């Protein structure tokens, strides 16, 4: 008999909505307990704003595109239920 992993107590729907709405800010990562990913997303947004304020709109756009691509990938993995929370527990409907 195979032991199935413990299901995450976090809401699948909330995680997907947070990623879809606030994805580049990393709010979904904070909700899921993935603090490093959340801090990385927040840092990328801050870096992009800093580049824009300093007069480097091309770099700001590049950083936002990288963050957006990361968000799309995470959103995809959330949708197909392959992403896990900060404790390594899967999301199951």
pLDDT of the chain along its 93 residues, tens only?
555 568 889 999 999 999 999 999 999 999 999 999 999 999 999 999 999 999 999 999 999 999 999 999 999 999 998 999 999 898 776
Predicted pLDDT of residue 59:
97
Predicted pLDDT of residue 92:
72
Give the domain extent around 50.
25-79
Rounded distance between C-alpha atoms, residue 7 and residue 66, angstroms: 30
How many structural domains is the chain composed of? 1
Rounded distance between C-alpha atoms, residue 25 and residue 3, angstroms: 36
In a domain, 53, yes or no: yes
Q: Map tokens 């307990």 to a residue.
A: 33
In a domain, 84, yes or no: no
In a domain, 9, yes or no: no
Predicted pLDDT of residue 62:
97
């Amino acid at each position: 008999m195979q032991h199935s992993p413990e299901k995450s107590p976090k809401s699948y729907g909330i995680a997907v909505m947070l990623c879809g709405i606030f994805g580049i800010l990393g709010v979904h990562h904070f909700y899921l307990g993935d603090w490093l990913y959340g801090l990385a997303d927040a840092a990328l947004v801050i870096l992009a704003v800093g580049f824009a304020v300093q007069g480097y709109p091309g770099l700001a756009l590049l950083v936002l595109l990288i963050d957006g691509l990361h968000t799309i990938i995470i959103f995809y993995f959330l949708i197909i239920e392959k992403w896990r929370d900060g404790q390594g527990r899967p999301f199951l409907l």
